[in-house]
Structure 1
């Protein structure tokens, strides 16, 4: 567990996590080494500021981002950070609760038990949906057609409708937030775009960035639209795209003018997977379709009706765990999504970066644990806090300390601070690399080579001009 003044850093040649304590940001000497920590790059009693920390962290992240395979996993902390930056408030879906007409006490008891067993401390909205779904399925077997079963199904449908509308409310907050001097939504989108492009700015010689998220909102999609980043997922179609299992290797290429030969990868393209489903996915007539719900719409019901298909209700929204009626459809499409996750990260020379993910999903943690059995794989954990200690417990349990980088705390894990100070440059910057090479050629004897950072290496493949 980290306090507000405590930052945890482990990168480069650190053998153990380094604990830094905030002392005085006004003077530029921001942090000192905690009494319990030891490291080779900072002595006890001396201070280090953001500039020096950047010199240590940013080149390391830049090198990791140039791995052959790069994946980004964002959790609820990402959406919270974007929404807080725009509105100064937590997203409306974080505190939503459902009151069931039947079996309320039984559902609450199971939610608490399962959440405690998973190390989450208290249940969340996913636990409520999952437990209610499991109970509904059992009652449909024991007492089909009973009024309690009908009532529970109606309560669950109402809960999912309220939950979907709370997500839409959070999206509206992002695009409509304003203050007296600055339109906060513009600032939030600026940092959202910079964050995404710091990862997505890869040349065609590298494998595509693959973005994974456990969130149901569409903040990433909105940021990609603003950034001009094209997201490739498994959906095919224009009006009501259908989830396809056969479209994983779809990509985008172009033919350079006047050049014959193989086409080149188009820049500004990333793969995208929503592991727990999405607000605008609907299970209808044995297909998973993405419906055209505008970002921040007032109500989801008209768009369910607009499908033109009978029986479309909120209970059919693909919000994990889903409300499917049998095991086959319950596993689909999530089995395909998690197969994509395992295939993307469990490869040699791969880097997985997590942001805002608290390591509370064991099905995801198992894949990460398998990934680290590959010696050339690396895990970067960036988080604003670790209130339940799950991140550090997972770090200790995994045991692969040399393959893990940690940036935890309200400085390292703050989205604005992270983008401003530590993430690589959100562009493929060839000009800076050539400038440095030119300066080295002119002043071979007395030129002091600068620290290698994103201005030099980011997006340059093997580092050659």
Structure 2
């Protein structure tokens, strides 16, 4: 598929024009990324469509049970291309049913022998529901594991590992483009995987993810208001920043909820618990992450996610901000609402990388939320498409400009900008003295 991009209602001629536009956006006061499942495909992750197809293929009985009991439509079980359900709504429905059926079971006696036929059926359905929910959770975890060797390596991901090359390139370009006084870039992601953390660590970039501590890392949102700087830097050396802010909007594989608080554990420890869960030795829930459900705010961990979403909304409301979306399929309506509301900020710029966009804003195959944004024909919204399903993060890494070097050429450019003002002042001076 050939390159295609549109800004507002105007098609961009080629990639050069897009790169020039991105170069201007990177000079704005605030720059951020929103990464979805598609952004981790090149590193071994799965998109929601691929994840659901694998689940139906490997767990056909569980999928059929959900269709039989009305949790999904019948066409969501039909291979080779089952219709992907909304994961938030699906898991919401499963949890509501689990709560309701558990409540009903509590009204019966403790001896299953005394159950009436309807009560036995409810008990069987409750048991099946727990099994189906655990199978679905394991499928989601499996899609977020990326590469096994990254979890087992004591040094994490090496800097020459190609699996996270695009993530490293993007992070390096973003932090290098920051000017003195500008804040560090934000990375918002709906992914549970550690792609961003591993990519940043491989290039010695600090990650401020809301957790503070050395041996015990507890969620402390005030850490988002802190930054890193080189105390030896003076003048031009102050260009660039030393950290990124990372907000994992749906949780992480390395989060642990305990005693009413949320902690971050090391990757090796998290991997041990994940292995037990995947081998069906870890019960029906993982306890290390938050699934994408609309009712997630009911959990203790809702405080953490609420703070992260507040930071997300706050970022988009700041003057002179740019949010670049990559690999996000517009399947989370609470995020879509925040983005639409943020467009009330007249200086917010959106750049959306969508592999399904073919240049037609009214394409029925596009997510409804994306079609709505395209229908606005807002010149502050740029949509880039034309890439394969595995290429958009690679394209973003290629399109972002290399950092400028503040050298003699930049001084000449600044001088050229100042000269018209100096001439204006000289011409006005005699009149001022009269």
TM-score > 0.5 by shorter chain: yes
Name whichever of 126-135 and 271-280 sits farther off.
Answer: 126-135
Q: What residue is the counterpart of 1:77 in the other structure?
A: 38
Deviations 1:122-179 (A, max 9, x none): 21655543332222122233333874435533543454345424432x2227799xxx
- TM-aligned CA deviation for residue 62 of structure 1: 1.0
1:447-458 aligned within 5 A = none
1:219-258 aligned within 5 A = 219-256=195-232
Q: What residue is the counterpart of 2:380 in the other structure?
A: 403
Q: What residue is the counterpart of 2:319 in the other structure?
A: 348
- TM-aligned CA deviation for residue 440 of structure 1: 10
Deviations 1:224-266 (A, max 9, x none): 111222111211222342223443313223433799xxxx798
Contact 1:342 1:367 in 2 (8 A): yes
Q: What residue is the counterpart of 1:38 in the other structure?
A: none
- TM-aligned CA deviation for residue 395 of structure 1: 2.2
Q: Distance in 1 between matches of 2:159 and 2:203?
A: 17
Moved over 6 A (4+): 90-94, 99-103, 173-176, 322-326, 439-442
Aligned residues: 373
1:96 to 38, 52, 55: 55
Q: What residue is the counterpart of 1:8 in the other structure?
A: 4
Give the structure with the higher percent helix.
Answer: 2
In structure 1, stretches of 5+ residues that fail to align are 19-40, 42-52, 177-182, 305-310, 443-465
Q: What residue is the counterpart of 2:183 in the other structure?
A: 207
Deviations 1:180-214 (A, max 9, x none): xxx99823333321122222322342122110001
1:273 to 234, 241, 247: 247
In structure 2, stretches of 5+ residues that fail to align are 77-81, 111-121, 153-157, 358-363, 417-434
The answer as to 2:118 corresponding to 1:143 is no
The answer as to 2:18 corresponding to 1:57 is yes
Q: Distance in 1 between matches of 2:129 and 2:165?
A: 43
Contact 1:92 1:166 in 2 (8 A): yes
Contact 1:211 1:273 in 2 (8 A): yes
Computed over aligned residues only, the root mean square deviation of the Cα atoms, in angstroms, reads 4.2
Q: Secondary structure at the match of 1:405?
A: strand
1:371-386 aligned within 5 A = 371-386=342-357
The answer as to 2:127 corresponding to 1:156 is no
Q: Distance in 1 between matches of 2:160 and 2:397?
A: 17
Q: What residue is the counterpart of 1:194 in the other structure?
A: 169
Contact 1:73 1:213 in 2 (8 A): yes
Q: Secondary structure at the match of 1:272?
A: strand
Q: Distance in 2 between matches of 1:267 and 1:222?
A: 18
Q: TM-score, normalised by structure 2?
A: 0.71
Q: Distance in 1 between matches of 2:381 and 2:192?
A: 28
